[in-house]
Chain A
Amino acid sequence: MGAYTPLLMSFIATPQTLHFPEVLPLQSGASIRDYHLAYETYGTLNADRSNAVLVCHALNASHHVAGVYAGQPKSEGWWDNMIGPGKPVDTDRFFVIGVNNLGSCFGSTGPMHTHPDTGEVYGADFPVVTVEDWVNAQARLLDRLGVRQLAAVLGGSLGGMQALSWTLQYPDRMRHAVVVASAPNLTAENIAFNEVARRAIVTDPDFHGGHFYRHGVIPKRGLRIARMIGHITYLSDDVMNEKFGRTLRAPAVAAALGQGGIDVADTPSSDLREYLYSTQDVEFQIESYLRYQGDKFSEYFDANTYLLITRALDYFDPARHHGGNLTRALANAAARFLLVSFTTDWRFSPRRSREIVKALLDNRRSVSYAEIDAPHGHDAFLLDDARYMSVMRSYFNSIAKELQP
Chain B
Amino acid sequence: MTEKAAMQALARLVPPGSRVLDLGCGNGAMLDYLQRERGCTGYGVEIADANVLACVQRGVQVLQLNLDEGLAMFDDNSFDVVLQIDTLQHLRNAETMLRETARVGRTGIVAFPNFAHWPNRLSVLRGRMPVTRRLPYQWYDTPNIRVGTYKDFEVLATKNSLRILDAFGLQDGHEVRWLPNARAGTAVFHFDHV
Interface residues of A (CB under 8 A from B): 338, 354, 357-358, 361-362, 364, 366-373, 387, 390-391, 394-395, 397-398
Contact = CB atoms under 8 A, between A and B. Distances in A.
Contacts of A366: 61
Given A354-B73, A361-B43, A361-B78, A391 B53 contact: yes
B49 A368 contact: no
Contacts of A367: 43, 61, 63
A358 B78 CA distance: 12
Contacts of A395: 56
Contact of A391 (B56, B74, B75): B56
A108 to B, nearest CB: 34
The majority secondary structure among interface residues of chain A is helix
B56 A398 contact: yes
B62 interface: yes
B67 interface: no
Given A371-B64, A373-B49, A362 B75 contact: yes
Interface residues of B, number: 18
Interface in B16-65: 19, 43, 49, 52-53, 55-57, 59, 61-65
A368 B56 contact: yes
Interface of B: 19, 43, 49, 52-53, 55-57, 59, 61-65, 73-75, 78
24 contacts: A354-B65, A357-B73, A361-B73, A361-B74, A362-B75, A362-B78, A364-B19, A367-B43, A367-B63, A368-B55, A368-B56, A368-B62, A368-B63, A369-B65, A370-B62, A371-B64, A372-B49, A373-B49, A391-B53, A394-B56, A394-B57, A395-B56, A398-B56, A398-B59
Contacts of A394: 53, 56-57
Contacts of B55: 368
Nearest to B49: A387
B139 to A, nearest CB: 28
Given A361-B43, A369-B64, 6 more contacts: A338-B56, A361-B75, A362-B78, A368-B56, A391-B52, A398-B57
A63 B125 CA distance: 70
Contacts of A390: 53
